[in-house]
């Protein structure tokens, strides 16, 4: 029997067509695989950036809260220390006010003795003891930061003195303390009791001003 003859050109074209058909799906697959990766890559990176920004914000917020808490603790510590110091310094305020009456009576006892009686033998024996008692009391008060105010001859200070009356005295400036009827006391930097004083009225400055006005 005679076998049909094969044409070389037809076989070659068929092989090329088969090759092209085989390569086409590979390219298509490659393009399909690349496309999803490109599409999903941007959202993933954006999500990571958002998470980092969120964490940074949380860290900043926690840091701010920590600093505020530390500042509050430091303020509380300072306040407690100040209150402790005030309690130590001013805790004896009420007792000090009560004990001032003793100091006043000792001073009155000393000032009540006239000069003529100081030469008396009995008075000479008693008076030094009273003066020593007053001095010891004042020294004890000073150990607790309680100091006596004796503003004789000083300028009147309304923060420390209480004016009881005025005294006409043109030889001194107005507002000068001329008499102290009761000594004052301070405890540390606070007024414990104002000094009761009499202050000058008129005085050199006021008199000079009056003369200038007449001229």
**Cross-strand pairs, 179:** 198
Residues 157-215 have pLDDT tens digits of 999 999 999 999 888 999 999 999 999 999 998 999 999 999 998 765 544 444 444 43
- Does the domain at residues 149-215 carry the CATH identifier 3.40.50.300? no
- Number of helices (H) and strands (E) in the chain: give both, helices first: 4, 6
Model pTM score: 0.61
**Cross-strand pairs, 163:** 197
Percent of the chain with pLDDT over 70: 73
Structure tokens at 62: 């926690």
Confidence of residue 46 (pLDDT cuts 50, 70, 90): confident
> What is the three-state SS of 198-212?
EEEECCHHHHHHHHH
């Amino acid at each position: 029997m005679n076998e049909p003859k094969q044409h070389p050109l037809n076989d070659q074209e068929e092989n090329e067509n088969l090759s092209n058909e085989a390569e086409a799906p590979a390219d298509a697959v490659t393009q399909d695989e690349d496309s999803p990766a490109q599409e999903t890559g941007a959202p993933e990176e954006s999500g990571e950036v958002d998470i980092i920004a969120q964490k940074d914000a949380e860290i900043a917020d926690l840091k701010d809260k920590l600093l505020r808490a530390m500042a509050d603790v430091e303020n509380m510590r300072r306040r407690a220390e100040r209150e402790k110091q005030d309690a130590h310094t001013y805790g004896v305020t009420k007792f000090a006010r009560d004990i001032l009456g003793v100091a006043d009576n000792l001073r009155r006892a000393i000032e009540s003795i006239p000069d003529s009686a100081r030469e008396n033998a009995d008075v000479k024996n008693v008076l030094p003891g009273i003066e020593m008692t007053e001095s010891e009391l004042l020294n004890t008060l000073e150990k607790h930061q309680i100091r006596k105010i004796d503003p004789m001859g000083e300028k009147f200070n309304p923060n420390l003195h209480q004016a009881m009356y005025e005294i006409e005295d043109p030889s001194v400036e107005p507002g000068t303390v001329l008499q102290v009827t009761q000594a004052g006391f301070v405890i540390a930097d606070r007024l414990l009791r104002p000094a009761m004083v009499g202050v000058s009225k008129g005085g050199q400055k006021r008199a000079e001003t009056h003369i200038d006005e007449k001229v």
